[in-house]
Amino acid sequence: MAFKKVDHVAIAVPDLEQGIALYQSLLGKGPEHIEEVEEQKVRAAFFGVGETNLELLFPTSPDSPISNFLEQKKGRGGLHHICIEVSGLEEHLEQLKKQGVQLIDEKPRIGAHGKRIAFVHPKSTGGVLIELSEPMADH
């Protein structure tokens, strides 16, 4: 299995505009990309930090996983997940499944930037939600 890099660290925010203003102030620049990911019911703002991104996530629907996360956090934002870029996403998922790792996604789906993604359940990763991603060109 080939892990390439930490692609992004995702932070759930209760107000996207306030989140963007905060991180713009902290980083001294605005987001490079803002995108709505309809399948996941979120709007995402990406700030480049070296080879990694900070991704701010805001729910676009009450049944978004981010809405549930914010409810559990009593409306406060916080670290939602860490995304690791891989080569051979299907092979990674098969290997993890063989090792008994609990997966949220057994098959890849499309995420932000058109990347293929799959989530590993936090019960198998010490309480941290891990996303694996693969750019479409790598597939």
pLDDT for res 137 = 73
Domain of 81 in residue numbering reads as 2-138
| Number of domains comprising the chain | 1
Reported as a single tens digit per residue, the pLDDT across 56-111 is 999 999 999 999 999 999 989 999 999 999 999 999 999 999 999 999 999 999 99
- Report CA 103 to chain centroid distance, whole Å: 15
User: For the residues 5-12, what does the mean pLDDT come to?
Assistant: 97
Instruction: Identify the helix (H) or strand (E) that includes residue 18.
Output: helix 16-27
CATH code of the domain in which 65 resides: 3.10.180.10
Reported as a single tens digit per residue, the pLDDT across 113-127 is 999 999 999 999 999
pLDDT for res 136 = 84
pLDDT for res 75 = 85
CB 132 within 8 A of CB 120: yes
